[in-house]
Amino acid sequence: MTSPTTWRKATRSQNGPTCVEVAGSLDRLRDSKHTGPVLRADVPALVRYVKRD
């Protein structure tokens, strides 16, 4: 039996209308308003890409 996924909301979302949640395993993203579709991604690599100069 698998355990349920723990989701974390982005710290900069401030409970606004455009929130992103990250799976605790750091391999999935989802829209917090519409939790159905999930984007599988290498979240740490995505963060490095977004933060690059």
- DSSP secondary structure of 3-49: PPPPEEE-GGGTT-SS-EEEETTSSEEEESSS-S--EE--HHHHHHH
pLDDT band at 45 (very low <50, low <70, confident <90, very high): very high
By percentage, how much of the chain surpasses pLDDT 90? 23
Asked if 37 and 21 touch (Cβ cutoff 8 Å), the reply is: no
pLDDT (average), residues 29-40: 87
The pTM of the full predicted model, rounded to 2 decimals, is: 0.68
Please state the domain extents for the chain.
21-53
Residue 20 tokens read as 């992103």
